[in-house]
Amino acid sequence: MQMLSLSHFLILILSTPFLLFFLHKWRRSHAPSSRKRPPPSPPKLPGLGNLHQVGPLPHRSLQSLSRRHGSLMLLHFGKVPVLVASSAEAAREIMKSQDLIFASRPKMSIPARLLYNCRDVAFAPYGEYWRRIRSVCVLHLLCGKRVQSYRRVMEEETSLMVDKIRSSSTGVINLRDAVASMTNDVISMVALGKKSGAGERNFHRIIAEFEELLGVVPLWEYIPWLSWMRRFDGVDGRIERVAKALDQFLESVLQEHRDRERRECDGDELDFVDILLDFQRENGSGSSVDDNAIKSIILDMYAGGTDTTSTTLEWAMTELIRNPTTMKTLQNEVRKVVGNKVEIDEKDLEKMLYLKAVTKESLRLHPPIPLLVPRELTQDTKVLGYDIVSGTRALINAWAIARDSLLWEKPEQFYPERFLETDIDYKGLHFELTPFGSGRRGCPGVTFAMTVYELALAKLVLNFDFELPNGAKMEQLDVSESSGLTMHKKFPLLVVVSPHTC
């Protein structure tokens, strides 16, 4: 017994340093200073997480939550952690300071199935393929010189829109349809090299459904055990039908471009498909631009160049009609700059400073994609002092930031004059206003889209005066929003136009 007790005592003495070492490690790991510090979160429900707190207009729901829980929140959509940034400071951290590790995209089932497993620019995960395909788009499709070469198409199609409105036999003009038709025709000419025939008009209807589906995030996306709902919600059937129709049309476009003889024209007059097929041939079998990539890029151009542009135009006209004094100020500027000329050229637009202020103010109040496209964190990090784990999705509430009363005086008021004495712009350098994102994942087609937008807006206010049907008061114009990836006006803008005469 004595020997046993002595041996135990010796073991205890020898093991004491190890015990003290592990005790110290345990205390350090459980000390408040070393614990993970996640962003504040609202209470969540088992299984659902915070999904029950996100309504049909998520940008508004998330703004309301951020006012209670902070401008950087951690939510859970099912089991998916979602970081929500609702301040310019948080947006700058994600899209600039830590842009690289927030540069990827989460894998979402609907974009993957519609865009050839995300072979496009907008939804492709960050990596070598995305870098190559984006470089092709920026250098070959959307560079300044190339956008300039499309200007003739833009001028022709915007003028045709004006002519159609002027010659309409109906008393009431659906301005949404008018601007959507114009933007569709611009993209058709630029991307495919031809105007909308019967087949292309059907394609445009499919494109509209494609754009709608991109904004659908079914419940089973976040809660896998609800996947049985797919048998009944009809989403899978719509996806298959739209994907098949898009692929058949785009395949015929590629074949048509390959079959026809080489055009006898200047290289600047080539359409997107010509340029991409040239790039494919020049780079051989090792090219990242295969047929599926070309189809995906064309779909990106349609989604970004038609839906967001026409939506932005409709919102701008809505706000101008609701604010007659602002409308008159803009009309006076445009009509003074243009004078007796029939057409508006690029130099005219550069002189229209109030038009540019109206553009910025409209984008501030109505960013086309209010939550931008989701990002995904690729490694653990800290944001504004909070710990964020790899795999977390990031949503930037550009809509809420642009209405932040700490950044903007009278943020709910449409007041373009606020931009006349500031250099704040929408191209991704100022995080108070990022309707097109910023950093690596900023929209590469901003210059193209806004060139069409400015030209169309200037021509509309130059050529027409506007009233609401049935003598309705301007301030009564409905500004309700619809749900989806793109923030459309819930009801189309219907107007009565009077041609302006000099």
CATH number at residue 78: 1.10.630.10
Buried b vs exposed e over 103-135: b needs ≥16 C-beta within 10 Å?
Answer: bbbbebebbebbbbebbbbbbbebeeebeebbe
Label residue 159 by pLDDT band (50, 70, 90). very high
User: Is 13 inside a domain boundary?
Assistant: no
Task: Give me the percent of the chain exceeding a pLDDT of 70.
Answer: 90
pLDDT in tens, 396-442: 999 999 999 999 999 999 999 999 989 999 999 999 999 999 999 99
Q: Is residue 245 predicted with pLDDT exceeding 90?
A: yes
- By C-alpha distance, which of 294, 315, 407 is closest to 359? 315
Q: How many helices (H) and strands (E) does the chain have?
A: 20, 9
Which residue range is the domain that position 420 belongs to? 34-478
In the predicted structure, residue 201 carries a pLDDT above the cut 70: no
Cβ atoms of residues 318 and 328 within 8 Å: no
The answer to whether residue 339 sits within a structural domain is yes
**What CA–CA distance (Å, rounded) separates 372 from 425?**
17
What's residue 123's pLDDT? 96
For 74-79, what is the mean pLDDT? 95
pLDDT at 29: 46
What integer is the mean pLDDT of 147-157? 93
The arithmetic mean of pLDDT across residues 85-96, rounded, is 98
Beta bridge partners of 80: 77
pLDDT band at 168 (very low <50, low <70, confident <90, very high): confident
Q: Which residue has the higher pLDDT, 434 or 343?
A: 434
**5 occurs within a structural domain:** no
- pLDDT of 87 reads 98
Determine the pLDDT at residue 27: 53
**What's the pLDDT at 170?**
76
Which pLDDT value is given to residue 474?
83
Task: Give the separation between CA 311 and CA 386, rounded to whole angstroms.
Answer: 36
How confident is residue 76, by pLDDT bands cut at 50, 70 and 90?
Answer: very high
Whole-angstrom distance, CA of residue 142 vs CA of residue 158: 20
* Mean confidence (pLDDT) of the chain: 89
In the DSSP assignment, the letter for residue 402 is T
What pLDDT is attached to residue 12?
A: 37
Long-range contacts at 93-96 (CB < 8 A, ≥ 24 apart): 93/383, 93/384, 94/375, 94/383, 94/394, 94/396, 95/396, 95/428, 95/431, 95/434, 95/437, 95/438, 95/439, 95/441, 95/442, 96/431, 96/438, 96/439
Q: Binning pLDDT at 50, 70 and 90, where does residue 16 land?
A: very low
Q: How confident is the model at residue 46 (pLDDT cuts 50, 70, 90)?
A: very high
| pLDDT score, position 331 | 98
Is it the case that residue 502 has pLDDT exceeding 80?
Answer: no
- pLDDT of 104 > 70? The answer is yes
The pLDDT of 442-457, averaged and rounded, is: 94
Mean pLDDT of 206-223: 90
Do the domain assignments include residue 46? yes
- Paired tokens of 274: 């010509």
In a domain, 487, yes or no: no
The region of weakest confidence among 8-22, 92-106, 232-246, 343-357 is: 8-22
Q: Are 414 and 323 in contact (CB under 8 A)?
A: yes
Query: How many domains does the chain divide into?
Result: 1
Question: What contacts 149, CB < 8 A, 6 or more positions away?
Answer: 268, 269
For the residues 347-375, what does the mean pLDDT come to? Answer: 97
Look at residue 475 in the predicted model and tell me its pLDDT: 79
What is the band of 114 on the pLDDT scale with cuts at 50, 70, 90?
very high
pLDDT at 2 over 90: no
102 found inside a domain: yes
Domain membership of residue 4 (yes or no) is no
> Looking at the predicted structure, is the pLDDT value of residue 7 above 50?
no
Query: What single string gives the DSSP state of each residue in 31-91?
Result: STTTS--PPP----BTTTBTGGG--SSHHHHHHHHHHHH-SEEEEEETTEEEEEE-SHHHH
Residue 499 placed within a domain: no
The reported pLDDT for the residue numbered 303 is 86
- Give yes or no for residue 262 having a pLDDT over 60: no
Higher-confidence position of 462 and 199: 462
pLDDT at 19: 44
d(CA 107, CA 348): 44
Average the pLDDT over 456-477 and give the result.
Answer: 92
Mean pLDDT of 101-120: 96
